[in-house]
Amino acid sequence: MRPPAFWDARPGHPAARLLAPLGALYGRHTAARMDRPGAAAPCPVLCIGNFTLGGAGKTPTALALATLLRDLGARPAFLTRGYGGRLAGPIRVDPTMQTVAETGDEPRLLARSAPTILSRDRPAGARLCVAEGADVIVMDDGLQNPSLAKTLSLAVVDAGAGLGNGRPFPAGPLRVPVSRQWRHVHGIVLIGDGPRGAVVAEAARARGLPVHRARLIPGADFAGRRVLAFAGIGRPDKFFASLAEAGATLVGRRAFADHHPYAAADTAALTAEARRLGADLVTTEKDHVRLEAPFAARVAILPVTLAFADEAPLLAQLRSLLGRASG
C-alpha cells in the first residue's frame, strides 16, 4: 500500500481525527496481542522490526547485522514471513527453485547473504533455521508478532519519517501505540538524520535504550548518468536521495506502492519514457527481483549497504545475545 499523506501530517489532521476511534480499537487489540508470551526458540533470536507500517530499512539492517554476527563467529540464518508471497513454509528459500510470486521479494535478497527460512509459523521456522545449521536467528520483521520469543529486539527508525503523526493504524502509521511498544525493544537503529528521528532517539535514551545511528551507503557510481529512477518500496524518496548521492542526474522519478508487482503495461511505459528522456532505467535491488526478463536486463541497480556510526555498543549487544564476553 502507499501510505496516505496525512500519516505524515500533524496529529490533528481531519482524516486522522476521523479515523482515531478505529485507530484506538486497533491499537488496543494489537497491543494486547503483542504482550502475549511467545514460544521459546532453540537458539538466540535477534528481531529486526519497526514501530510503524511501511519501509524503515529493516532489510539492509538485517543484512548488516548478519554480517556482524558472522564476524563474531556465529552462524546466522534469516527467518522471514515472506510478505507478498504465496508459500506458507517452513521452507528454505532458493531463488533458483522458487519464483518471486511464491516467496516475495525480500527473502530473495536475504538468501544471497545467509540461509533464509520462509515461514508464517515462526516457531516452526525457527526450528528449521537450526536444522539448517544456524546458531542464531535474525528475524526480519515480527516485532509485533508474539508467537516466537525474542532474545534481542531492535526497532529500525527512518530519521526522516520518525513515527509520522504518532497515531495507530488506520489513523496513522503506528502498528501499536508507541507507548506500548517500548517495553518490547532493547534499542533502536536510527537511519539517517532529521528532527523526527531525533525525537524518537531522545525518547529511547530517556528509557535507557541505546541508539545505534546508521546511514545507507550507495554501492555504485552513477556520476554523469541521466537516469529515470523507479521504485516500489516503503519510502521511494530514500532511494531517489541515495541515487543522487551516487552522482546520478535524475531526469525522472516514478514511485509505486510497496511490493508493487510490475505488469507489462508498467514496464512498457517505463521503457518508452526512458527512451524519450534519453535516460537509463535504475531501480532498487528489491524491485529488480520483481522484474521479468528481458526488461530486467535493461535496468541498472543501485545497491545500498548500512554503515553504523559506532559499532562498539552494537557489538556489545550482539555479544550479549550470543552469550559471549565483550572482551
Q: Which helix (DSSP H) or strand (DSSP E) does residue 140 occupy?
A: strand 136-140
Task: Collect the ranges in the chain with pLDDT lower than 70.
Answer: 1, 324-327
The neighbouring-strand residues paired with 215 are 307
Contact 47, 139 (CB under 8 A): yes
- The secondary structure of residue 3, as a DSSP letter, is P
User: Residue 178: its pLDDT value, please?
Assistant: 95
User: Residue 1: its pLDDT value, please?
Assistant: 61
> Closest Cα to residue 188, out of 166, 169, 165, 214?
214
Architecture of the domain spanning 45-74+135-215+306-322: 3-Layer(aba) Sandwich (3.40)
How many angstroms separate the CA atoms of 142 and 140, rounded?
A: 7
DSSP-derived 3-state class of residue 308: strand
User: Residue 325: its pLDDT value, please?
Assistant: 42
Beta-carbon contacts of 269 under 8 Å, excluding residues fewer than 6 positions away, are none
Provide the sign of the torsion angle of the four alpha carbons 231, 237, 240, 246, taken in this order.
Answer: negative
Neighbouring C-beta atoms of residue 209, cutoff 10 Å: 17
Angle at 235 between CA 232 and CA 237, to 5 degrees: 95
DSSP-derived 3-state class of residue 157: strand
Task: Give domain limits for the chain.
Answer: 45-74+135-215+306-322, 220-302
User: Residue 326: its pLDDT value, please?
Assistant: 40
DSSP conformation letters of 209-266: --EEEEEEEE-S--TT-EEEEEE-SS-HHHHHHHHHHTT-EEEEEEE--TT----HHH
User: Residue 322: its pLDDT value, please?
Assistant: 94
User: Residue 324: its pLDDT value, please?
Assistant: 58
DSSP-derived 3-state class of residue 89: coil
DSSP conformation letters of 40-67: PPSS-EEEEE-SBSS-SSHHHHHHHHHH
User: Residue 327: its pLDDT value, please?
Assistant: 40
User: Residue 111: its pLDDT value, please?
Assistant: 95
How does strand 299-301 pair with strand 45-49?
Answer: unpaired
